[in-house]
Amino acid sequence: METWSEKIRGWLAHLPIERLQHPTPVVAVVRLAGVIGQVGPLRSGISLARLAGPLQRAFSLPGLSCVALAINSPGGSPVQSALIAQRIRQLAAEKDIPVVAFAEDVAASGGYWLACAADEIYADASSIVGSIGVIASGFGFNEAIERLGIERRIYTAGERKTLLDPFKPENPEDVARLKAIQAEIHTNFQAWVKDRRGDRLKAPPEDLFSGEFWTGRRAVELGLVDGIDDLRSAMRRRFGDDVKLRLVTGEVSWWRRRLPFRGGWESDGFSLLPVTWADDVIAAVEARSLWNRYGL
């Protein structure tokens, strides 16, 4: 009678030993697409809260050889950019896995901050890359409400609580305070790029960190990216034609998939808030203004 050990040896004899010794390489693909941070009153774009799960799953795939970041973002919140990039670096160090970023239409401002979380960055020749700077914009309505006969009433505890109030005349001290904050954030951005790109940067800081943006081909010359390539081609050359590209996305709850209207309901952590068509419009306008900055 055949023993269990003999049966096991028989089964193993029929297995593709070559495949066991050289398993098919796996590349986890994480898409970082859209505006970073809060897009509208009830909508979030790219944020650590939304990406924490997918990133953890991406770095935990069996047989993982690399994590590829597919980036298409005009930027947004510097805080969320830094938090996401830091999480990527933490997971890469813990799992000892290389990370490669691929810029699609845009990897600018916060989008480039995310790209720098990778060990290597590639782009299309016509990608928009760079915009290493900080911007704040708004409107002033103080003259408009005077013409309409509207009286502005506001009460505060704390003399600086009305900083840059759009319904008051612009205060030079408020502007100076805002510029000081922007300069500090800009310094942090520059330090991150210098730390991640190091000697690969090929232009003086006053050019690289002016807020200007370039095509992917020019970005290669400046050292902001490492070459012109696309994700699938690069991964196949690096790991072979049989490489498995595994797209890792966020999970959508079953009840959201069954809602008959777009957007459904969003949780603010305390209650469920209905997302209306007006919220969609506001979010779309705010996101479009960021994309328009790069002519897209």
Sign of CA dihedral 197, 198, 202, 208: positive
CA distance 128 to 219: 9
77 CB-near residues (< 8 Å, 6+ apart):
36, 37, 38, 47, 110
pLDDT at 252: 52
Other CB atoms within 10 Å distance of the CB of residue 102: 27
Single out the residue of 294, 273, 215, 292 nearest to residue 44, CA to CA.
273
Tokens 């991150």 belong to 192
Sketch the domain layout of the chain as residue ranges: 22-131+212-292, 133-188
CA distance 240 to 180: 50
Single out the residue of 36, 45, 53, 49 nearest to residue 107, CA to CA.
36
* Prediction pTM value: 0.76
Tokens 């000892």 belong to 96
Single out the residue of 100, 107, 35 nearest to residue 69, CA to CA.
100
Superfamily of domain 22-131+212-292: 2-enoyl-CoA Hydratase; Chain A, domain 1 (3.90.226.10)
Q: Which two tokens stand for residue 44?
A: 């979030």
What is the amino acid identity at position 107? A
Beta carbons of 286 and 76 less than 8 angstroms apart: no
288 CB-near residues (< 8 Å, 6+ apart):
none
Sign of CA dihedral 105, 188, 89, 202: positive
Q: Which two tokens stand for residue 235?
A: 């991964």
pLDDT at 147: 75
77, 109, 127, 131: which is the annotated catalytic residue? 109
60, 126, 161, 233: which is the annotated catalytic residue? 161
179 assigned to active site:
no
Query: Between the CA of residue 75 and those of 46, 61, 66, 185, 292, what are the distances in Å?
Result: 9, 28, 25, 14, 12
| Residuewise pLDDT in 10s, the chain (296 residues) | 556 666 666 665 555 554 445 678 999 999 999 999 875 544 568 999 999 999 999 999 999 999 999 999 999 999 999 999 999 999 999 999 999 999 999 999 999 999 999 999 999 999 999 988 877 666 666 667 667 777 777 777 777 666 767 767 777 777 788 788 888 989 999 999 999 999 999 999 999 999 899 999 999 999 999 999 999 999 999 999 999 999 998 765 444 445 444 443 333 333 333 444 444 544 555 555 555 665 55
Q: Residue 68: CA atoms inside 13 Å, Cβ hemisphere, count?
A: 26
105 CB-near residues (< 8 Å, 6+ apart):
72, 127, 128, 296
pLDDT at 5: 65
Q: Strand, coil or helix: what is 222?
A: helix
168 assigned to active site:
no
